[in-house]
Each structure stands twice: as C-alpha cells, then as structure tokens.
Amino acid sequence: MDSLLEMLGRLNLWTWWAIAGLFLIGEVMTGTTYLLWLAAAATLTGFVGLEFLGVAWPVQLGVFAVLSLILLWAGGRWVTPMLKAGGDSGLNERGSRMVGETVIAAADFVSGRGRVRFGDTEWAAQTLDGSSPNSETVLRVVELDGVTLKVANT
C-alpha cells in the first residue's frame, strides 16, 4: 500500500503524458475514439501536475476523472457523429461521380449507342431515348449502368 501511495505521490506532467501516450496507442489499435478523449484528459491533467504548482495526487486524479467525463460526453455528442457522418465519397467509383456532368460524343452514335469523352477518357455510352447524337454533341450523364454511361441531350 505504501508503494502505491508513493507512486501516486510522484504523479507529474511526464507521468500524465505517458498515460496519455498509452491511451493513444490503445486508440490507434481500437479506433473507437473513446480512448482519444481519455488521452486528451490525461494530457490536460498533466498541466495540473506541474511540479511548481504542487497539486496533490488526489486532486490530479479528480481533475482527470472530471475531464474524462466531460470530454467523453462532448466527444460522443458532437465530434464522433461528425466523424461518422461522412457520406460515400465515390472515391473508388469514378463513374458514379460523373452523374450530372457534361460529356462530349466522341463519334456519331448508332442506334442510341456510342462513346463519349470525359476529360481524357472515353466511355461507352447509351442515350436514354434511343436517339443517335452526332460527334461533338454535348450530352449530360444521367446515370451509370455498369461501365456504360446513360446520357441525355443537354
């Protein structure tokens, strides 16, 4: 018991920052964001544990507990929902990002099918109404069907 009290009596800035580092390692391993708030609380508590302030260890533990509760509540209420609210970016689905964009017919369409240019790439395309636009006609991408763009006149 005396060794535990002796260890608690030595709590200081570096001890709290080491604890924060352990919480951060745990956060990286789990990715839950809960340990992130405990790491932040330990980091802030470290400033309370500065040697020249002479704050006793029970006060430091109390500050850590209160900060942990506040940061867990605030993080769970505001930050975590924002992190999880990100929609589908379409990063790996280039074609889905093209919906609504304008493209140019690379050649004359035949029976409603042809090729269009979007940037420096040509894509297979099909008109929604079965029309056959001429080369260099500006079209709008309406939807994506596999690797074929469904287009309509602008």
pLDDT in tens, 43-64: 999 998 887 788 899 999 999 9
Cα dist. 85→34, 39, 79 in Å? 17, 23, 10
Cα dist. 109→70, 74, 122 in Å? 63, 57, 13
Do 48 and 21 have their domain in common? yes
Do 7 and 60 have their domain in common? yes
* pLDDT value, residue 86: 64
Amino acid, res. 45:
T
pLDDT at 92 > cutoff 70: no
The predicted model scores a pTM of 0.55
What domain count does the chain have? 2
Identify the domain boundary among 33, 61, 84: 84
Domain of 121 in residue numbering reads as 94-153
Identify the domain boundary among 84, 108, 127: 84
Do 63 and 109 have their domain in common? no
Alpha-carbon gap, residue 125 to 141, rounded angstroms: 9
Instruction: Kindly state whether residue 102 falls inside one of the protein's structural domains.
Output: yes
Dihedral (CA of 62, 68, 74, 76) sign: negative
